[in-house]
Chain A
Amino acid sequence: MVAQRAEQGAGPQRLGACALVADGVSFAYRNRTVLEGVNLELHPGEWLALLGPNGVGKSTLLRLMAGLVRPAVGEVRLGDERLERISSWRRGQQIAFLPQHGGYPEDLTVEEVVALGRTPHLGLLGRASQADREAVEWAMQQTQVSAFRHRLLPTLSGGERQRVMLARALAARPKFLLLDEPTNHLDLHHQAEFLALLAGLRAQGLGILTVLHDPNLARLADRVAFLAEGRLLALGQPGEVLTEELLQGVYGRQVRVRLLEGQPVVLLGG
């Protein structure tokens, strides 16, 4: 089994750059323990994929790291500060969160939706400044949605809509981007397109944490954290974590792992 190798297998880490850290966090809904003693560090400029079977607490860990819920035990830190000590506005400026089942506003244009991402930066009167407008432009260009900025969300395809939601998250110019199953319901082409976008953003220094349940997508990340039954089972580079031994132990005997150009490919059956 792969030991926790948070320090070794990481992507480009900058000395002194602040990380988003879950330090021994446990969480329970009523009496059901969802997470127990999980340690995870997300660094700027790295893409970390959170993998595991349904219902093991991946989304909960994401929400803990976004500061949306508080851990029962342990703490989440942004740099040296505990997340709950940071004002919610500053938290929103630094950590962007895209839930799996967010709302799709039906009567807002693409540009209006992306502009909502600036909410943590706006003053009391909510007037957008030049910096706000530039950040919205930048986010729309990064995600290639500028061309349909005046269209309403229901008129877009699923892939376009998900890019708009990503632009919304980016508009805050966050340091960390937390995405819950962002490629769900996308076809292969749009999955590839979306993941390529994430890779580009990582190269610009953004720290990205994605919950995924397809191990073959997680392979593209710098590191993979494998969660099972509320505990971190393995953490490391995709090749180290995505082993047949580990995946069979969690998903059953029908899982096979083959190497393709040195990369693990996960298959079902014979």
Chain B
Amino acid sequence: MQKTTYPGLVPPTVRGYGKSMAGRRLLVFLGLLVLLALGLVLGVAQGAVPIAPGEVVRALLGLSENPIITELRLPRVLAAMLVGAVLGISGAAFQGLFRNPLADPYLMGSAAGAAFGVTLAVSLAGGLSSAFAQHAVFTHLPASAILFGFLGAVGAVLLTLLLSGGASRTGDLILAGVVVGSVLVSLTSYLMLQDADRVRAVFAYTLGNLAFVGWNGVGSLALFLLFTFPLLLLLGRTLNALHLGEETARSLGLPLDKLKLLIIGLVTLLIAAAVAQAGIIGFVGLMAPHILRRLLGGDYHYLLPASALGGAVLLVLADLLARTLVAPAELPVGILTTLLGGPFFLYLLWRGRRVAW
């Protein structure tokens, strides 16, 4: 290959980014890891039976055994981490894909689809689920409900893609997602009205609760993340190019229609797996990428992993609050994230206005 020459080129003195940016990135990632470790210890320590943090650390390191930790608290905190990570990555990826900082991981109807699937499973199960319906906050979801929730989420996104004629027109995609979501919410409400007894159980699920997930759920979520996360990182280049607009991204040689479908597919798998098990937890997928974009800038090679860590931290802390604020009862964590997320966005709105003025 012929060597390219650059007339008048002064050799670069600064490679890549300024030291300040590299240092800042390191600091942000280290900070997130510290917060996550802190959240893990606090989350496991806190509960109906308080456990000393020292004991928690010993148990986590395998130096002692405590069934409360291994059977109850640890899977729940890990579930919060994994679901939070899924929401963070998905939010970042969708915000890049739709080129909209307000894009939400549930944008294409996945949450409504999962709720519909779970409700349908509970309705179909009939008598079988009566035990499960008696608890306002049931302790776990039957496998059939998780499967239906997963399929419902994937199906809703497929329907959205079908209605919008593929992924090439982003505006159509968002509109179709709104339509599919609304219709599914209506159908879910109708199913819930058919069987008032189960309304509370399904309703509690839709509000989001990490108590359902358990070790099996943690394992499956970890597998989903392990499979999709490296692929999404490879797609960081596409998300970066999308900063310049779709037409420019195409002109840079990216086969954008295929890549967009791939991103939607990976995010849908992740979100479906999370939402089917933990219900609909709002705002984490919006907030984590938003905050980290301000700290790290818009390079998705950093923003995606940072949003995963940030989402994990947010949800671990939110779940900790949900368990302690009204102890011994619990708040559904989805209500709490929405209560915290609403003011956050009001703040952003207010800040944006102040800048505009």
Binding site for B on A (CB under 8 A): 63, 66-68, 87-93, 95-99, 101-103, 105-109, 111-113, 116-117, 119-120, 122, 124-126, 128, 131, 133-135, 137-138, 141, 149-150, 152, 168, 172-173, 204
Tally B residues with Cβ within 8 Å of A: 40
Tell me how far the C-beta of A260 lies from the nearest C-beta in chain B, rounded to whole angstroms.
Answer: 33
7 A-B residue pairings within 8 Å (CB atoms): A88-B250, A88-B253, A101-B245, A102-B244, A103-B248, A107-B294, A152-B297
Instruction: List the A residue with the shortest CB-CB distance to B14.
Output: A149
B244 near A105 with CB under 8 A, answer yes
Q: A68-B250, A108-B298, A137-B6 are in contact. List 17 more A-B contacts (CB 8 A).
A: A88-B255, A91-B253, A93-B253, A102-B244, A102-B247, A103-B243, A107-B294, A116-B252, A117-B252, A119-B249, A120-B252, A120-B253, A134-B12, A135-B6, A138-B6, A150-B20, A204-B7
A137 near B16 with CB under 8 A, answer no
Known: A119-B241, A150-B18. A141 touches B9 (CB 8 A): yes
**Of the residues B6, B14, B16, B253, contact of A119 by C-beta under 8 Å:** B253
**Of the residues B8, B21, B234, B248, contact of A150 by C-beta under 8 Å:** B21
A102 near B252 with CB under 8 A, answer no
A141 near B248 with CB under 8 A, answer no
Instruction: List the A residue with the shortest CB-CB distance to B12.
Output: A137
Instruction: List the A residue with the shortest CB-CB distance to B299.
Output: A112
Verify if B301 is at the interface (C-beta below 8 Å from A): yes
Verify if B357 is at the interface (C-beta below 8 Å from A): no
Binding site for A on B (CB under 8 A): 4, 6-12, 14-18, 20-21, 99, 234, 236-237, 240-245, 247-255, 293-294, 297-299, 301
Query: Which A residues are in CB contact (< 8 Å) with B254?
Result: 88, 92, 119
A-B pairs with lowest CB-CB distance, top 6: A92-B253, A105-B243, A107-B298, A97-B251, A103-B245, A120-B253
Tell me how far the C-beta of A205 lies from the nearest C-beta in chain B, rounded to whole angstroms.
Answer: 10
Please classify the interface of chain B as helix (H, G, I), strand (E, B), loop, or mixed, using the class held by over half of its residues: loop
Number of interchain pairs (Cβ within 8 Å): 115
Known: A92-B253, A95-B251, A107-B297. A116 touches B16 (CB 8 A): no
Tell me how far the C-beta of A102 lies from the nearest C-beta in chain B, rounded to whole angstroms.
Answer: 5
A66 to B251, CA, bound (A): 7
A98 to B244, CA, bound (A): 10
A113 to B243, CA, bound (A): 9
A109 near B17 with CB under 8 A, answer yes
A150 to B19, CA, bound (A): 10
B7 near A133 with CB under 8 A, answer no
Tell me how far the C-beta of A197 lies from the nearest C-beta in chain B, rounded to whole angstroms.
Answer: 14
Query: Which A residues are in CB contact (< 8 Å) with B21?
Result: 109, 150
A22 to B56, CA, bound (A): 71
Query: Which B residues are in CB contact (< 8 Å) with A204?
Result: 7
A119 to B14, CA, bound (A): 20
Candidate in A116, A124, A131, A173 with the most chain B CB atoms within 10 angstroms? A116
Query: Which A residues are in CB contact (< 8 Å) with B244?
Result: 102-103, 105, 113, 116, 168
Known: A88-B253, A137-B12, A149-B14. A68 touches B247 (CB 8 A): yes
Instruction: List the A residue with the shortest CB-CB distance to B355.
Output: A154
Instruction: List the A residue with the shortest CB-CB distance to B252.
Output: A119
B240 near A116 with CB under 8 A, answer yes
B10 near A141 with CB under 8 A, answer yes
Candidate in A89, A107, A120, A131 with the most chain B CB atoms within 10 angstroms? A107
Query: Which A residues are in CB contact (< 8 Å) with B293?
Result: 107
A18 to B58, CA, bound (A): 70
A207 to B70, CA, bound (A): 67
A126 to B236, CA, bound (A): 9
Query: Which A residues are in CB contact (< 8 Å) with B8?
Result: 141
A87 to B254, CA, bound (A): 10
Query: Which A residues are in CB contact (< 8 Å) with B252?
Result: 92, 116-117, 119-120, 172
Instruction: List the B residue with the shortest CB-CB distance to A112.
Output: B299
A102 near B248 with CB under 8 A, answer yes
Tell me how far the C-beta of A173 lies from the nearest C-beta in chain B, rounded to whole angstroms.
Answer: 6
